[in-house]
């Protein structure tokens, strides 16, 4: 729920409350603040990053800008002599732990009735607790992959302190979601599916097929900015391995025509999202017309196509939708922020509350083959957001070739499954080079490879030098128009995984 939710407006008493991070500063006039009534409920409260600062600010502590921003790994040390209420949060977790920091503000003085629980070399108030009430604050982010024991901290709060039960299972999710889909679609409603061949859309399609059978129609749109031979490969994988009834629509001319001359990444996303829906609605109309013809000679009355399936995940939602500060709109994802307001089809998104690692676990339970489940993510806007600058067929061809070499060499080295996502980016700059004793002035490819579970944070992958050397040599020798290759060693945050 948004932090601005009024306690009086909810019809249940929560077991506990977690106040999450935010890009705002608590002392700014436009910053979001939690309903003060949460502190009168008598339930445990945990503040994370901005949430800690919100707790301190509300209880008359001081929050100020750091001397320097803190993004990345830190070593948190638990203070000795902490009282029992403090130990409840970190009990059994040792004297120190590695965590992930991401903040520009921090506490400069404690609020009354609070004490320090933990510190780092640069954050003296890395964790605080109320002297008598179950109110806790931590400056680090336990919810991200790069806080290795962060889940244990959350588990201590949720299970030991709040007294919740850990009875949610992925097996239970499958049954409940299939039931929910059937209730939404009814006995006759039909769905068309946005299938790309990536793990998200593949798992969503399989789940939909399990729920409503042949009333689900899978459609893949070739938007002209797919990877090399992508459409043909996906069609083979989905039809052969999963038995999905798949239609491939070649709309590359339409997409590339609308992208002509466009450089702004947000505009690219919206153009692709809007065109995507237009193509889908047109394809739905064709399927509807075929169904009507079949009804004239058959006895079964088929339902209308009312729904569009999408593989939206929770990180997509978090990064695309902002409500006065709980999260910043980092970028508009085509499947949550780039759709038409007057879209005729209604969205159905069965994976909307799952993270990437959970989707892979769901795929394994649905018996989807490992190569499909482990496939690296590929964004809906495709190579359009990996071409920094104007998108043309020539630029697409260059990037397709370079990206294909990159992935091939990663697989050849046996590293593909160690990497969460790898891809090439075509930069809008030219560099001087020398080939065959001649001066060249050609384009630059940037390589990106990260490790992550949830994609809310990510760290760059450390390649063996010989692998990078081989990749660079092949790209500069085999891809016409490229004379320089660079490797991106930025983590998320402060960078995002994709460049645009």
pLDDT digits (tens, 9 = 90+) for 255-267: 999 999 999 989 9
Strand stretches in 282-415, DSSP E: 305-309, 346-348
Q: Above 90 in pLDDT, residue 497?
A: yes
399 vs 297 pLDDT, higher one:
399
Q: Above 70 in pLDDT, residue 328?
A: no
pLDDT of residue 319: 60
Average pLDDT over residues 228-247: 86
Note whether 423 and 403 are within 8 A (CB): yes
| Catalytic site includes residue 49 | yes
Half-sphere exposure of 99 (CA within 13 A, CB side): 31
pLDDT of residue 165: 94
Average pLDDT over residues 223-227: 94
* 213: its two tokens: 């059978």
pLDDT of residue 30: 86
Question: 71: pLDDT confidence band, cut at 50, 70 and 90?
Answer: confident
- What DSSP assignment string belongs to 338-361? SS-TT-SSEEE-TTTT--HHHHHH
Q: Above 80 in pLDDT, residue 97?
A: yes
pLDDT tens, position by position, 269-314: 999 989 988 898 888 888 878 877 777 776 556 677 888 888 888 8
pLDDT of residue 341: 56
Question: Taking the chain, what is the end-to-end CA distance rounded to the nearest angstrom?
Answer: 28
Closest alpha carbon to 34 in 13, 55, 63: 55
pLDDT of residue 327: 46
Is the preceding peptide bond at 494 cis, omega within 30 degrees of 0? Answer: yes
Does the annotation place 440 within a ligand binding site?
no
Q: To the nearest whole percent, how much of the chain has pLDDT over 90?
A: 54
The whole-chain average pLDDT of the chain stands at: 87
Note whether 275 and 260 are within 8 A (CB): no
Average pLDDT over residues 63-84: 77
pLDDT of residue 162: 96
246 vs 341 pLDDT, higher one:
246
Cα gap 273→313, rounded to integer Å: 16
The top-level CATH class assigned to 170-374 is alpha beta
pLDDT of residue 329: 46
pLDDT of residue 312: 87
* 446: its two tokens: 């940037």
Cα gap 263→331, rounded to integer Å: 15
Q: Is the dihedral of CA 454, 459, 465, 470 positive or negative?
A: positive
Q: Mean pLDDT lowest for which of 29-38, 331-340, 440-449?
A: 331-340
225 vs 438 pLDDT, higher one:
225
| Catalytic site includes residue 143 | yes
How distant is the alpha carbon of residue 143 from its chain centre?
14
Cβ contacts of 439 within 8 Å, gap of 6 or more: 432, 433
| Catalytic site includes residue 394 | no
Q: To the nearest whole percent, how much of the chain has pLDDT over 70?
A: 92
Does the annotation place 491 within a ligand binding site?
no
Does the annotation place 202 within a ligand binding site?
yes
Q: Above 50 in pLDDT, residue 323?
A: no
Q: Mean pLDDT lowest for which of 311-320, 387-396, 417-426, 485-494?
A: 311-320
From 130, 141, 209, 217, active-site residue: 141
pLDDT of residue 294: 73
Q: Above 50 in pLDDT, residue 338?
A: no
Domain positions in the chain:
7-161, 170-374, 393-487
Q: Above 70 in pLDDT, residue 374?
A: yes
Closest alpha carbon to 99 in 138, 127, 137, 73: 73
pLDDT of residue 450: 96
Residue with tokens 């506490």: 107
pLDDT tens, position by position, 182-204: 999 998 888 988 888 888 989 99
Note whether 46 and 138 are within 8 A (CB): yes
pLDDT of residue 334: 42
Q: Above 60 in pLDDT, residue 322?
A: no
65 vs 77, 107, 327, 410, CA distance in Å? 22, 9, 19, 42
User: Which CATH number applies to 393-487?
Assistant: 3.30.300.10
* 429: its two tokens: 């700059």
pLDDT tens, position by position, 106-153: 888 999 999 999 998 888 899 999 999 999 999 999 988 788 899 999
Q: Above 50 in pLDDT, residue 324?
A: no
pLDDT of residue 81: 61
Q: Above 50 in pLDDT, residue 325?
A: no
Is the preceding peptide bond at 177 cis, omega within 30 degrees of 0? Answer: no
pLDDT of residue 198: 85
Average pLDDT over residues 18-45: 91
Residue with tokens 């509300």: 58
pLDDT of residue 259: 95
Cα gap 284→430, rounded to integer Å: 44
Question: 363: pLDDT confidence band, cut at 50, 70 and 90?
Answer: very high
How distant is the alpha carbon of residue 29 from its chain centre?
30
pLDDT of residue 195: 87
Strand partners, 63: 107
Q: What is the dihedral of CA 311, 49, 449, 389, to 10 degrees?
A: 80
* 45: its two tokens: 């409260």
24 vs 17 pLDDT, higher one:
17
* Backbone phi, psi, residue 100, to 5°: -115, 125
Q: Mean pLDDT lowest for which of 225-234, 305-314, 379-388?
A: 305-314
Does the annotation place 404 within a ligand binding site?
no
Cα gap 300→294, rounded to integer Å: 9
Q: Above 70 in pLDDT, residue 339?
A: no
Is there a common fold for 7-161 and 170-374? Answer: yes
From 54, 70, 143, 319, active-site residue: 143
Q: Above 60 in pLDDT, residue 335?
A: no
Does the annotation place 357 within a ligand binding site?
no
Q: Which CATH number among 2.70.98.10, 3.30.230.70, 2.40.30.10, 3.40.50.880 corresponds to the domain 7-161?
A: 3.40.50.880
Q: Is the dihedral of CA 462, 464, 465, 466 positive or negative?
A: negative
């Amino acid at each position: 729920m948004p932090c601005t939710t009024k306690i009086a407006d909810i019809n249940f008493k929560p077991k506990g409350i977690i106040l999450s991070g935010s890009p705002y500063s608590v002392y700014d006039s436009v910053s979001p603040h939690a309903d003060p009534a949460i502190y009168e409920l008598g339930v445990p409260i945990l503040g994370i990053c901005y949430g800690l600062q919100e707790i301190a600010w509300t209880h008359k502590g001081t929050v100020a800008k750091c001397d320097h921003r803190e993004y990345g790994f830190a070593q948190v040390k638990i203070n000795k002599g902490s009282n029992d209420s403090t130990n409840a949060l970190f009990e059994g977790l040792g004297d120190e732990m590695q965590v992930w920091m991401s903040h520009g503000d921090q506490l400069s003085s404690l609020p009354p009735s609070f004490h320090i629980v933990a510190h780092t070399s640069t954050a003296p108030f890395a964790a605080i607790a109320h002297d008598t009430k179950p109110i806790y604050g931590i400056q680090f982010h336990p919810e991200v992959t790069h806080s290795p024991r962060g889940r244990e901290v959350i588990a201590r709060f949720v299970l030991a302190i709040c007294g919740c039960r850990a009875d949610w299972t992925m097996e239970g999710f499958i049954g409940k979601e299939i039931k929910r889909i059937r209730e939404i679609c009814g006995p006759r409603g039909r769905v068309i599916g946005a299938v790309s061949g990536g793990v998200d859309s593949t798992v969503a399609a399989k789940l939909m097929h399990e729920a409503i059978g042949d009333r689900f129609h899978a459609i893949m749109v070739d938007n002209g900015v797919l990877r090399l031979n992508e459409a043909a490969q996906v069609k083979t994988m989905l039809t052969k391995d999963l038995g999905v009834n798949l239609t491939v629509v070649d709309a590359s001319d339409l997409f590339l025509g609308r992208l002509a001359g466009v450089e702004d990444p947000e505009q690219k996303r919206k153009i692709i999202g809007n065109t995507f829906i237009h193509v889908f609605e047109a394809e739905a109309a064709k399927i509807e017309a075929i169904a009507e013809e079949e009804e004239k000679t058959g006895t079964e009355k088929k339902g209308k196509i009312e729904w569009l399936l999408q593989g939206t995940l929770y990180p997509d939602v978090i990064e695309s939708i902002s409500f006065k500060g709980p999260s910043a709109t980092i970028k508009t994802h085509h499947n949550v922020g780039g759709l038409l307001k007057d879209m005729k089809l209604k969205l159905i998104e069965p994976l909307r509350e799952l993270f990437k690692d959970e989707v892979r676990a769901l795929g394994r339970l649905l018996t989807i083959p490992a190569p499909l489940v482990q496939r690296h993510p590929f964004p809906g806007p495709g190579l359009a957001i990996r071409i920094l600058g104007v998108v043309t067929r020539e630029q697409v061809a260059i990037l397709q070739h370079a990206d294909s070499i990159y992935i091939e060499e990663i697989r050849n080295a046996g590293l593909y499954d160690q990497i969460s996502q790898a891809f090439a980016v075509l930069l809008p700059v030219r560099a001087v080079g020398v080939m065959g004793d001649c001066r060249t002035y050609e384009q630059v490819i940037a390589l990106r490879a990260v490790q992550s579970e949830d994609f809310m944070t990510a760290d760059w992958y450390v390649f063996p030098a010989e692998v990078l050397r081989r990749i660079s040599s092949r790209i500069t020798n085999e891809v016409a128009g490229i004379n320089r290759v660079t490797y991106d060693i930025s983590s998320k945050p402060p960078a995002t995984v994709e460049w645009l």
